[in-house]
Structure 1
Amino acid sequence: MEKKQNFSRKREAILNAVKNTSIHPTAEWVYQTLKPVYPDLSLGTVYRNLAQFKNDGVIVSVGTVNGQERFDGNTQPHTHFICSSCGAVIDIPGEPVSLKSTDEIVRKYHIVVDSIDVQLHGLCEECLQRQTPLK
């Protein structure tokens, strides 16, 4: 009985780690964050739980950034900005595409849209400041 309860606590901790940060963490970040609290936690457990949470729709994948999948606990429609230099992922709140344009696309292509995923790519403020010459 204790093992199942411990598994549930780890599972809840993994979900909370993703939901309680805005950095769009990797599985490795979640693992490193929780390992001091759960010494018997494995990276495989983190990956399996993240995949299940993603399948259940309680978290979303931002995609692969610098070779690692990044996750978001905010499942409300919004856009992500991904810095091409440092890999920072920043939330841009609000609807990514207007409902009117989505309706036009649905009619024109005779499709059903389940979700919209818009990503902006470029340089974040910090990377831009590093590139700006001092005057």
Structure 2
Amino acid sequence: MNDFITLLKTKELKATPQRISVLKELGKKMHPTIDDLYEALRKENPSMSLATVYKNLATLKEKGVVIEVNTAEGKMRYDIYSKPHIHIICKQCGAIEDVDYDQNLFEYQTALEQAKSVKIDRMDVIASVESCSVCHKRS
């Protein structure tokens, strides 16, 4: 929890109970939809409204703490953006796996910034696969 408080403070956000709850749930790395996130949060705090979840997600997205992951199924998924990473998305079962950048991607980002004379704040990399280890375990 201290990591979440520190993360919020580095982005100049107050560490409210609602924001910490959202980050704790996203920290489970399940990449939930807004509905999944809301249901999980209501189990812990039955009085939390959907509007509160939307409002806190919007603030966290605006400050770069949380990112949206656009999936083929059309539903946005959410993730904490604590460091650059790739999302590997399975087309068959919808599972999302986080994989850290390697040095080649950082070098590519630097080359791209120089070539385009821009500063890239964040590169979103999504890799789609036909099936994954989760699918194979189910069969």
TM-score range, shorter chain: 0.7 to 0.9
- Higher-Rg member (1/2): 1
CA RMSD of aligned residues (A): 2.3
Counterparts of 1:28 and 1:96 in 2: how far apart (Å)?
36
Letter in 1 for 2:23: L
TM-fit CA distance, 1:26: 1.6
**Could you say which residue in structure 2 is the equivalent of 1:25?**
32
TM-fit CA distance, 1:129: 6.1
2:17 paired residue among 6, 9, 31: 9
The ranges of structure 1 where at least 4 consecutive aligned residues each deviate by more than 6 angstroms after the TM superposition are: none
Identify the range of structure 1 (36-45 vs 50-59) with the bigger mean alpha-carbon deviation. Answer: 36-45
Q: How does 1:79-90 map to 2 (within 5 A)?
A: 79-90=86-97
| Alpha-carbon contact 2:69-2:77 (below 8 Å) kept | yes
Identity of aligned residues (%): 32
1:51 paired residue among 44, 48, 58: 58
Whether 1:127 and 2:116 are equivalent positions in the alignment is no
Counterparts of 1:40 and 1:25 in 2: how far apart (Å)?
20
TM-score by length of 1: 0.76
**Could you say which residue in structure 2 is the equivalent of 1:110?**
117
| Count of matched residue positions in the alignment of Structure 1 and Structure 2 | 123
Identify the range of structure 1 (100-109 vs 39-48) with the bigger mean alpha-carbon deviation. Answer: 100-109
Letter in 1 for 2:79: D
Provide closer, same or farther for how the CA distance between residues 64 and 30 of structure 1 changes in structure 2, counting only shifts above 3 A: same
2:101 paired residue among 94, 97, 103: 94
What's the secondary structure of 2:44's corresponding residue? coil
| Alpha-carbon contact 2:95-2:134 (below 8 Å) kept | no
